[in-house]
Chains A and B, each alone.
Chain A
Amino acid sequence: MPEIDQSRKPDIGTLLRVGSPGLSPQGQRSGWARFKGALDRRQGPTTYRRVVIALTACGALGAIAVSTTISPHKAGRSAAAIGTPAPLTYVADRGEILSDGVIRSTDPLGAGVRFSDGSHILLKAATRAQIVSVESRGARMAIADGEVVVDVVHQPSTRWRFDAGPFSVFVEGTSFSLGWASTDERFHLRMDTGVVTVKGPLGADPIRVRAGETLTVSVPEQQIQLRRHESDRQLGLEPEVTPSSAALAPPPPATSGRPPSHPSWPRAEATVRSMSGGVGRSSWRDMVAAGRSSDVVIEAETRGIRVTLARVVRDDLAALADAARYSRRNDVAGLTLHALRNRFPASDAARDAAFFLGRLEEADNPRSPRSLDWYRRYRAETPHGLYVSDSLGREMLIMQRLYGDEAARAIGREYLARFPQGHLAARAAAIATR
């Protein structure tokens, strides 16, 4: 009998491995479908989920169709601009303004810009800012890092805008100081007089900030703080309460004995008011503005989330989405944003919801490809939306996390080309040139 070379024969482990076919893609898919069914049965509302998924698909298709149809509105705006009076002029004070609008300080204490309508902007030391555009009714300025003190002269149809990182402050005639720290992504707005409207990546609806109030936002911690100035309280000033809002205000928290629902939301100091101009009760938007986000979510849960999502009006739905996000109830926030897109697909809030869904996915998983899908969908639906720069920047960062600099380079270049003063411009430049 010939001697067999033992080294060329398989051992038992090799035979078991070679003889065991792996899981086929089809088997994996069918297994997942079966497992998903088991999970749904375990978690309960199977029918509801089916409806939500179907509505989400319909809503997404509807939103895409509507946004495609409505997109010419920007062209209309451009046309309206034709024939308008000459834009404001401006001069630098203790500094110079370069051809691209970048303000360069020649004084270590900071520079200033004085406009022909009497408005004045003071840049504190080491602030990096740029005048993006100027028109007859105002100007647009971008603050990359640092703090500015603004004094805008109020006139009819005033149109001033200040971009600070991912936030935008729309001014109606006022004086305030505005800061953006790019390193820790912290936004700070202190109002002295007048009213401004702030839009940013943490809320679907704008926040109105009035005289005597300070708005502080930490993007990484997703915390928003709206409070009265310390100096006002020392002076004995009361929060601004209009007659209608006074009747709508909830009982003072101090007498209720309940602790604040979130430490970063000082309920007693916040002014309760109706942004929509007077309703018959304290709306959820009012409660969010007053720092009572957790109460909004609790109220919705008490009613029943499914019933709430199916029945409440659009503004309340948007307020609930914000409240859930502020109180870190991402599960409720996700459902609400989906409901917003399903029920009101043509609304701005529904289009913005795509961006916030991306943020939620990213918060859950910083390398989630699904957040990429949402950011891209947001830009497809809202090519000139407020969060376009932020969604593009976040897509760049996710691509870098997922696939490295090489994959993110093209997006970094696009970001730099479109938003050279964007709050992620430095990171985009690093990625694009690496």
Chain B
Amino acid sequence: MGRAWHYHFRVSASKHNDVPLNRFGVALSDADTVAGRIEAEAFLSALIRGAPWAAEEAWNRYAPMVFHLLRRGMGPSADLDDCVQEVFLRAFRRFKNLRDATALRSFVYSIAVRVMRWQLRRRRIRRWVGLSDTGELPELGQAPLDVEAREALRRTYALLEKLGTLDRTIFVLRHSEELSLPEIANAVDVSLSTVKRHLGRTSSRVARLVRADPLLSTYLSIGRLDADSEGRDA
């Protein structure tokens, strides 16, 4: 029997107004209303039934989110598009196991995190056995940055390549996606204490590597890295 998926949104107040937000910063007003819930359930039902319009709508709603996560987490990668496809194929296979229709977004997000971890692990293994993925990053493509920033970004990804899969995933979710620690624990499916332990250790290591790099040490602020390595708020 398939696993039942339950996701709960954290309701928090926006910095700028009192609109409740879910963990991805999306206003919860729709999901909180009866109409919103009915719509969510009808949408999930249509997805499970295989309605073509629902599939396209799901793609339009969630593909940008998935792409962003994978792009930030994995860096410029030739197989990024394949990974996005993989996320959606997995999601469509598992929609029938989702119990809470309003958690559709976080459900897709969690699958994207799993695919990202799987891809990072695969990349490391291939590097170990010498098949390819030497650790050299491909060009950054269309990144809208000046020369110095592009070099800093290239070195940052090279630095992230040195991290283990779980460490890197937690680090990206914390620093790039700005998830809270419980949200990271939920997305990665590990305990909160494991997240804290890995994040402290990884942040400390990244801070050390940044300080050792002449360009990164002058370009990047490491205050937040130090805070995370010490287990306090930045």
Contact = CB atoms under 8 A, between A and B. Distances in A.
Nearest to B46: A364
Contact of A365 (B46, B140, B142): B46
B220 interface: yes
A69 to B, nearest CB: 30
Interface in A1-59: 4, 6-7, 9-13, 15-23, 27-28, 31-32, 34-36, 38-39, 42-43
A365 B59 contact: no
Given A28-B63, A31-B84, A367-B39, A15 B152 contact: yes
Given A17-B72, A19-B145, A20-B143, A32 B60 contact: yes
Contact of A38 (B68, B85, B220, B221): B85
B176 A13 contact: yes
Interface size class of A (residues with CB under 8 A): 35 or more
A19 B42 contact: no
A28 B175 CA distance: 26
A38 B221 CA distance: 44
B202 to A, nearest CB: 11
A11 B64 contact: no
A34 B85 contact: yes
Main SS at interface, chain A: helix
B210 interface: yes
B54 interface: yes
B39 A366 contact: yes
A38 B81 CA distance: 13
A330 B85 CA distance: 28
A233 interface: no
A16 B76 CA distance: 11
Contact of B89 (A6, A38, A365): A38
Contacts of A363: 42
A205 interface: no
A361 interface: yes
A365 B219 contact: no
Contact of A18 (B51, B55, B145): B145
Contacts of A15: 149, 152-153, 156, 220
A368 interface: yes
Contacts of A331: 49-51
Given A16-B175, A364-B54, A35 B85 contact: yes
Tell me which of B38, B49, B67, B142 has the highest count of chain A C-beta atoms within 10 A of its own C-beta.
Answer: B67
Tell me which of A4, A11, A401 has the highest count of chain B C-beta atoms within 10 A of its own C-beta.
Answer: A11
B38 A11 contact: no
Interface string A254-283: 000000000000000000000000000000
B45 interface: yes
A38 B152 CA distance: 38
A126 to B, nearest CB: 29
B40 to A, nearest CB: 10
A28 B152 contact: no
A21 B71 CA distance: 8
Interface string A362-378: 01111110100000000
B50 A11 contact: no
Interface stretch (B21-29, B120-128, B188-196, B222-230): B222-230
Tell me which of A12, A330, A331, A364 has the highest count of chain B C-beta atoms within 10 A of its own C-beta.
Answer: A12
Given A32-B59, A39-B55, A367-B39, A4 B218 contact: yes
A18 B152 CA distance: 12
A93 B195 CA distance: 81
Contacts of A38: 85, 89
Contacts of B142: 21
B64 A22 contact: yes
B55 A12 contact: no
B172 interface: yes
Contact of B220 (A11, A364, A368): A11
B92 A39 contact: yes
Contacts of B56: 32, 36
B214 interface: no
B53 interface: yes
A109 B197 CA distance: 78
B107 interface: no
A43 B55 CA distance: 13
B172 A16 contact: yes
B35 A20 contact: no
Contact of A370 (B53, B85, B145): B53
A364 B42 contact: yes
B127 to A, nearest CB: 21
Interface string B194-208: 000000000000100
A367 B34 CA distance: 13
Given A12-B206, A15-B152, A31 B81 contact: yes
Given A17-B176, A21-B142, A38-B89, A11 B156 contact: no
A171 B143 CA distance: 71
Nearest to B47: A364
Contacts of B64: 22-23, 28
Interface in B135-188: 140-145, 149-150, 152-153, 156, 172, 174-176, 178
Contacts of A35: 55, 59, 85, 88-89
Interface string B91-133: 0100000000000000000000000000000000000000000
A10 B220 contact: yes
- Closest 8 pairs (CB-CB, A-B): A13-B175, A23-B67, A19-B153, A9-B221, A16-B176, A20-B71, A364-B46, A13-B176
Given A15-B156, A19-B153, 19 more contacts: A9-B219, A9-B220, A9-B221, A11-B175, A11-B222, A12-B176, A19-B143, A20-B71, A22-B68, A23-B64, A23-B67, A28-B59, A31-B85, A32-B56, A32-B59, A35-B59, A42-B89, A364-B51, A365-B39
7 contacts: A9-B220, A11-B220, A16-B175, A18-B149, A19-B143, A21-B143, A31-B81
